[in-house]
Amino acid sequence: VDLKDLLSQTVVLKLNGGLGTSMGLEKAKSLLPVKEGRSFLDLIADQINHLSKENSAKIQFVLMNSFSTNQDTLDALKSTHPEILTQEDLVLLQNKSPKIDAGTLKPVEWKAAPDLEWCPPGHGDIYPSLLGSGMLDRLIGKGFRYAFVSNSDNLGAVMSTDLLAHFVSSGAAFMMEVAERTEADKKGGHLARRKADGQLILRESAMCRDEDKALFQDVSLHKYFNTNNLWLDFVQLKKKMEEYDGIVPLPLIKNKKTVNPRDSTSTSVFQLETAMGSAIECFGNAAAVVVPRSRFSPVKTCNDLFSLRSDAYHLTEDFCVKLNRDTPPVIKLDDKYYKHVDKMEKLCQGGIPSLLSCNKLEVTGPVVFKSGTTFKGTCSVTNTKSEPVELPPGEYTDQQVEL
């Protein structure tokens, strides 16, 4: 297989619709600096440029933005990677759905901020957005047949030429990267085969009866979870969508939230979403491939960010973020003081401590970290007061520190 030829037929598509509200962010989550001052978006753009240069192939890059993230993302690229902005079909804009008032089951009204009446319809919207915008036809017309799709906050989701070659040679319409479930993943969805016809499906906990919960969570029985790194064959996808009048028939997910995500006392709403991975059940020739856990490295909480910004990780020459050790440190920061990025950064103005040799760190109460602090083994730091207290710099090995 000619790798350059394959890459020139492949689109790298990043899902970039999330605001990171659970981490207290109000802009696109991908703009958050994660390593050496570079944001997720910077790292993705640098990876694309590096891949194009190394393989003498022009890589087609697509960002699936939401109405909430589009302008911020374009402004950021203008200042850091203006060369990316010159590319055609850079942005695929997600549709938007009305939030449903949980009390009336009608579209919610929120006069204080009408923008909050709308929500993104989940990443399953990738399929109707590709077709409805005309982008799917344009890309096929330009000779693009394959796509690697992943979340912009998953630092492990980098283009793999080995996986691309495997996908193309398999002839599958759809391929999902899965990783082995551990006890930590038991509540999340898993890959399964439908007994009736042997079809691969994604099974979520919401689809599972209460009496089946124990079996659902048995990681020795259901061994694999979806990393949300997917490979698509555009030609076969278009054919499938034509069969279903322009859609991929995905199950609907009902998420309960508040109309203002930053105000837990605001009106309760349902956000109706679909997940793109559920499409695995729509293709008779769908495939799954088991990948190392390193291809699933999402940043969902400030615990993840704290670890990532430390010396437990390094940035490689090809702009990938890699562990400096076998397994990541287990970090448990007090949600009351560290849940939001701005609060965490305020308490870590002196820099993130060294975690290179740290197995586990638990922080309770507001603790201020200064430069020159190192944790090794299993440590905990506790401040029982509500006022921040500074931890004296130094090396802490298997210690429980009370301030």
Closest CA to 234 of 116, 152, 337, 138: 138
Report pLDDT for 4: 87
Please write down the long-range contacts of 249-252, taking CB distance under 8 Å and 24 or more positions apart.
249/282, 250/124, 250/127, 250/274, 250/275, 250/276, 250/278, 250/279, 250/282, 251/207, 251/278
CA distance 252 to 274: 5
Angstrom CA distances, 134 to 3, 141, 247, stand at 28, 11, 14
**Any idea what DSSP says for residue 361?**
E
CA distance 128 to 242: 11
Known catalytic residue at 300:
yes
Please write down the long-range contacts of 291-294, taking CB distance under 8 Å and 24 or more positions apart.
291/163, 291/177, 291/178, 291/179, 291/227, 291/229, 292/179, 293/179, 293/180, 294/156, 294/322, 294/323
Give me the residues paired with residue 362 across strands: 332, 380
CA distance 171 to 169: 6
CA distance 234 to 243: 14
pTM of the complete model: 0.90
The set of residues, in sequence order, having a beta carbon less than 8 Å from that of 53 and lying 6+ positions away, is none
Residues of the chain with pLDDT below 70 are 1
CA distance 226 to 205: 13
Report pLDDT for 1: 66
Report pLDDT for 245: 93
Both tokens of 160, joined, read 């793999």
Report pLDDT for 31: 95
CB 153 within 8 A of CB 41: no
**Any idea what DSSP says for residue 353?**
P
| Given 300, 332, 360, 376, the catalytic residue | 300
Report pLDDT for 55: 86
Neighbours of 399 (CB within 10 A): 13
Task: Report CA torsion sign: 364, 311, 378, 305.
Answer: positive
Q: How many helices (H) and strands (E) does the chain have?
A: 12, 25
Neighbours of 227 (CB within 10 A): 22
Strand 190-193 to 321-323 pairing = unpaired
Both tokens of 146, joined, read 């394959």
